[in-house]
Amino acid sequence: MQRKTKKTQAIVDGSKFKIAIVTTKFNEDIVGGMLGGALETLKKNKVAEKNIEIVWVPGALEIPLACQRLAKTKKYQGLVALGCVIKGDTDHYYHVSKESIRGVMNVMLGFNISIGVGIITVNNLKQAQDRSGTKNNKGTEAAQAMLEMV
């Protein structure tokens, strides 16, 4: 682990890393922006395009199983999990948010693999758009966190 006193992004030499990104088809317009941010971050940190695999899953609840299957292969140094859960009129939002993030955490700890968690949980579409654009991209942050932990 790196210790820093300032909030700066460390540059990691990822030239020998194999990374998989698990991303959802649900809310694809939002998650697509996050995916772009994650890919840009990996490239900035020298992860070769040929060493990046993108795995699409239906929704946030399917992310943990995909992460588990990828972790079991022992082929990857790290994973990035990207999804977007927008609050609706029912409690479904709470269950999906909690369980998808908990499932990813279980994979991370169970397989001792760094997973950058970019599953955003927001109240509305505007908040989701704000977290998937160029200025405040949670996909970028998830990829950076994963790289620093590898």
Amino acid of residue 78: G
For residue 95, indicate whether it is catalytic: no
User: Which of 92, 95, 98, 102 is the catalytic position?
Assistant: 92
> How far is CA 18 from its chain centroid?
15
Helix (H) or strand (E) holding 84, with range, is strand 78-86
Cα–Cα distance between 86 and 127 in angstroms, integer? 9
Cα–Cα distance between 7 and 28 in angstroms, integer? 30
Take residue 122 and report the two structure tokens written for it.
């927001």
Residues designated catalytic: 92
